[in-house]
Each structure stands twice: as C-alpha cells, then as structure tokens.
Amino acid sequence: MFHTIRWRPDRVIHIAERHQVTVEEVEEAVFEDPRRLFLRGPRSESRPDKYIYYLFGCTSDT
C-alpha cells in the first residue's frame, strides 16, 4: 500500500486556494481515515484523457 502522494506544485496551489486545505490534511484524510470515500468522476475538460477524482474524508480537526 502507498503511504505518500507525489504532489505537483500546481496541485498544492489548487487545494490551498480552491479548497482551503493543506497537503498534510489531504494525506491525513487519504491514509488515516478508514471511512474515506474515493470516487472517479468525469473526464477533465482541459485534459480529456484524464479523469477527475474526488476524496471525501476527515482529519483529526473535523
């Protein structure tokens, strides 16, 4: 099982500005919340060969 995420700089900026969360919060929800929900959404409009993914999870602060 993986325990790290390779973060592109543009994605770090995206989650901070659009979702008001940190890399640490995302990684906590991904790796430590046993109730997390990970879903594949629609194809990206800007990159049709890629999908958009959604993660719903909690951190120790929520």
Report pLDDT digits (tens) over 21-54: 999 999 999 999 999 999 999 999 999 999 999 9
The answer to whether 60 and 54 are in contact (CB under 8 A) is no
Structure confidence at residue 2 as a pLDDT band (50, 70, 90): low
Nearest alpha carbon to residue 7 among 28, 24, 29? 24
Is 4 within a domain?
A: no
User: Which tokens is 54 given?
Assistant: 């959604």
Whole domain around residue 19: which residue ranges?
9-56
The answer to whether 45 and 52 are in contact (CB under 8 A) is no
**Residue 1: predicted pLDDT:** 61
**Residue 3: predicted pLDDT:** 75
